[in-house]
Amino acid sequence: MLDGPQTLSVSIWRGTGTTGAFQSFEVPRQGSQTVLDVVSWIQQNLDPTLTYRYACRVGMCGSCAMMVNGVPRWTCRTHVNKVDQGGALTIGPLRNLPVIKDLAADMDPFFEKWVKAEGLFHPARTRHEEVARVDPASEARRTADRAIECINCSVCYAACDTVAGNPDYLGPAALNRAWSVVNDERDAGRAEVLAAVSVSGGCHNCHSQGSCTRHCPNELSPLDSIAGLKRETARSFWRKGR
């Protein structure tokens, strides 16, 4: 038998676009139950029209993030007994993104900002040249290491109050990616990346309060990556005046 209430009172956001309301469901509690298990159980047993998104169920794909009792989380790796409030769960779509339907947020703005931040590889060689060797012990490589395990889950983006107040702000994940590109010795687009993160929605809008780092399920620190971008852009400001 599990300790505490045997049923969960679950409130789930239902609706499309900007309209909707929370709907209540009763779900039996189980051992080692995740929040994603709860959502799946409702969809399989109570309401097949419930829309949500997941793929890997093991914290790899980054598609299952939702707001759980007001906090952005990867639901497949979030155990109910760590987050329920006396058997109550309120589950909504990710903050700071438009809603497609129910728990499925529209990720387009999130990924568009990755591209805007130049968070992509700018090759320096062609396929006919030798593969570049990167020393795993080099400082740049070790700095990049701390930023590369991002699963694009948008948890940090949902946690960021600056995104909430400034719709043009590129946000922690895109800037974290930009920082790993800046530290990639093979990348030929360093100046473009620094210019892309210096525009009016760029890294300089971050207030360094660290919600992104606090909530990142993969324990990355977009906060530190953004501090690195601020440092490098300030340096290039003195050198080139921009």
C-alpha span between 222 and 212 (Å, rounded): 6
C-alpha span between 35 and 25 (Å, rounded): 13
Residue 16 CB, shortest distance to ligand SF4, in Å, is 25
What does the DSSP 8-state code read for residue 130? P
Residue 204 CB, shortest distance to ligand SF4, in Å, is 10
Burial readout 171-206 (b: 16 or more C-beta within 10 A, e: otherwise)? bbbbbbbbbbbbbbeebebbeebbbbbbeebbbebb
Q: Which does 152 bind (CB under 5 to 8 A by kind): other proteins, ligand SF4, ligand FES, none?
A: ligand SF4
Q: Examine residue 74 and tell whether it contacts ligand FES (CB under 6 A).
A: yes
Residue 206 CB, shortest distance to ligand SF4, in Å, is 3
Residue 217 CB, shortest distance to ligand SF4, in Å, is 6
Q: Rg of the chain over CA atoms, in angstroms? A: 20
Q: Which does 109 bind (CB under 5 to 8 A by kind): ligand SF4, ligand FES, other proteins, none?
A: none
Q: Which does 210 bind (CB under 5 to 8 A by kind): other proteins, ligand SF4, ligand FES, none?
A: ligand SF4
Which amino acid is residue 110, in one-letter code? F
Enumerate long-range contacts of 207-212, CB under 8 Å, 24 or more apart.
Answer: 207/161, 207/162, 209/161, 211/156, 211/159, 211/160, 211/161, 212/156, 212/157, 212/159, 212/160, 212/172, 212/173
Could you say which residues in the range 36-55 bind ligand FES, by CB under 6 A? 54-55
Q: Examine residue 59 and tell whether it contacts ligand FES (CB under 6 A).
A: yes
Q: Which does 60 bind (CB under 5 to 8 A by kind): ligand FES, ligand SF4, other proteins, none?
A: ligand FES
Chosen residue from 79, 148, 165, 231 binding other proteins by CB under 8 A? 165
C-alpha span between 119 and 33 (Å, rounded): 36
What does the DSSP 8-state code read for residue 85? B
Chain residues binding other proteins by CB under 8 A are 162, 165-168, 198-202, 204-205, 230, 233-234, 237, 242
Q: Which residues bind ligand FES (CB under 6 A)?
A: 54-57, 59-64, 74, 76
